[in-house]
């Protein structure tokens, strides 16, 4: 929603909530700055009156869609007025047990970034004012260490908002095997953190299929695009399962590689067997699944694939593609 429209709707809502009697369209038009700037005072001009009426009806519908209960009241002289009674727009009392309160407190503290932390802190204060117990310690209640979800990528916040608003985006993305980034037109579905990295799942319009993107490989700004989604959003978006499959987590085979002794610690953590070869090299047996070739390419000259032959060929093809770029 544009800032100007959001401010106009907020002012309209405040007027309707703050009045003790119904306000007519003319009174609202003369009281709200955005209406005065756009149409001037209600002076009987047919063109401006029609434009104002259309905007007012849209604004009123938007507020009702957001949950504001607006009453339409006809006065004795036949003039129609509007108001939003406070008792009709008051939330019911919030009742939370100890575990629910602890979970909310934990969620509010999980973010490290300043902008997200401010929003979470403000929401927590409002919940406490509405009945969230202050004495509940979320860490004691759950018996866990304080969590941290680091977000270093600049793309996170615009993508989070795009996922929420169901808004298509465009960004430049550099694959692990590519020397240069390429533009991607994506309908974003969901963000998820897996093993210290953030991933976006969505529909890639250029490829006509679901794709998962690692945020650290997005370069430049994320740009919003108008229009609606062209593909249905699945009920369950399996970001983690997809990435795990690419990383060989669901593999049922093994690959044999040579790895420099002082490199490739993520590969060593996955290895089911490690043998020293001497001369600064080790031999590792690691799970082999879809996407392992792309992962191995990231380690460059520190990795040599021994077997299977098809994995070695895939890695060589990817390296040649990088060299040509």
pLDDT at 79: 84
Beta bridge partners of 23: 82
Correct CATH for 3-89 of 3.10.129.10, 3.40.720.10, 3.40.50.720, 1.10.10.10 = 1.10.10.10
The structural architecture, per CATH, of the domain 253-324 is: 2-Layer Sandwich (3.30)
Please tell me the pTM assigned to this model. 0.45
| Angstrom distance (rounded) from CA 234 to CA 245 | 19
Chain length of the chain: 325
Q: How far is CA 97 from CA 131, 133, 141, in A?
A: 11, 9, 11
What tens digit of pLDDT does each residue of 259-269 get? 999 888 888 88
Closest CA to 153 of 189, 196, 211: 196
Domains 3-89 and 156-243 share a fold: no
Q: Where are the domains of the chain?
A: 3-89, 98-142, 156-243, 253-324
pLDDT score of 187: 95
> pLDDT exceeding 70 applies to what percent of the chain?
71
49-99: per-residue pLDDT in tens?
888 899 999 999 889 888 889 999 887 677 889 999 887 887 666 666 666
Distance CA 64, CA 53 (A): 16
Residues 6+ apart with CB under 8 A from 231: 187, 203
Give the closest residue to 188 by CA, choosing from 223, 233, 157.
233
Topology at the third CATH level for domain 156-243: SH3 type barrels. (2.30.30)
What was the pLDDT predicted at 127? 57
C-beta of residue 28 within 8 angstroms of C-beta of residue 11: no
Q: What is the pLDDT of residue 49?
A: 83
Band (1; pLDDT cuts 50, 70, 90) = very low
């Amino acid at each position: 929603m544009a800032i100007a429209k959001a401010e106009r709707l907020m002012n309209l809502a405040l007027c309707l909530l703050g009045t003790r009697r119904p306000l007519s369209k003319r009174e609202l038009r003369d009281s709200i700055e955005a209406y005065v700037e756009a149409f001037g005072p209600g002076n009987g001009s047919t063109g401006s009156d029609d434009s104002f009426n259309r905007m007012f009806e849209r604004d009123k519908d938007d507020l009702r869609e957001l949950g504001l209960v607006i009453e339409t009241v006809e006065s004795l002289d036949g003039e129609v007025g509007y108001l939003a009674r406070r008792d009709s727009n008051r939330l019911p009392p919030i009742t939370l047990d100890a575990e629910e309160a602890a979970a909310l407190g934990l969620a509010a503290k999980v973010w490290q970034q300043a902008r997200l932390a401010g929003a979470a802190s403000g929401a927590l204060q409002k919940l406490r004012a509405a009945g969230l117990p202050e004495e509940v310690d979320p860490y004691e209640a759950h018996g866990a260490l304080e969590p941290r979800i680091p977000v270093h990528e600049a793309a996170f916040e615009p993508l989070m908002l795009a996922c929420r608003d169901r808004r298509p985006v465009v960004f430049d993305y550099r694959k692990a095997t590519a020397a240069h980034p390429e533009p991607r037109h994506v309908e974003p579905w969901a963000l998820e953190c897996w093993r210290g990295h953030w991933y976006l799942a969505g529909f890639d319009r250029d490829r006509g299929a679901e794709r998962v993107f690692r945020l650290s490989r997005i370069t430049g700004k994320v740009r919003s695009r108008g229009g609606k989604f062209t593909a249905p959003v699945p009920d369950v978006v399996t970001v983690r399962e997809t990435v795990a499959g690419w990383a060989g987590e669901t593999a049922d085979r093994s690959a044999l590689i040579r790895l420099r002794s002082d490199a490739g610690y993520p590969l060593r953590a996955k290895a089911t067997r490690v043998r020293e070869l001497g001369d600064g090299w080790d031999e590792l047996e690691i799970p082999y699944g879809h996407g392992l070739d792309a992962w191995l390419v990231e380690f460059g000259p520190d990795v040599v694939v021994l077997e299977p032959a098809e994995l070695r060929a895939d890695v060589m093809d990817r390296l040649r593609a990088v060299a040509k770029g």
